[in-house]
Structure 1
Amino acid sequence: TTIKPQAKYLAAEYYLHREKDEKKLLSMQKKLANKNIVY
């Protein structure tokens, strides 16, 4: 299967956004962990 340039671009955008979201999630989890250390 051949990937169109546009699809490649969209995939790159998706991965960039996902990476940012994961970092946000990690920082949120850290903040929550600091509030209540017991899980």
Structure 2
Amino acid sequence: MARNDNDLSALDAIIMIVLIGLTMGVGWMLWGWLFTP
């Protein structure tokens, strides 16, 4: 059980980091695209 909990928490952390990274990257791309001539 402990191993499963650790794996799930690790996977959740990785997924969160990946999602945040993707959203940040897309956000920066949109900001640069829209606000730079």
Q: State the TM-score, normalized to the length of structure 2.
A: 0.75
Decide which structure has greater helix share. 2
Task: State the match for 2:18 in structure 1.
Answer: 20
Give aligned-pair identity as a percent: 9
| Distance (whole Å) between structure 2 residues aligned to residue 4 and residue 27 of structure 1 | 34
Residue 23 of structure 2 corresponds to residue 11 of structure 1: no
Unaligned runs of 5+ in 2: none
- What is the alpha-carbon root mean square deviation over aligned residues? 1.4
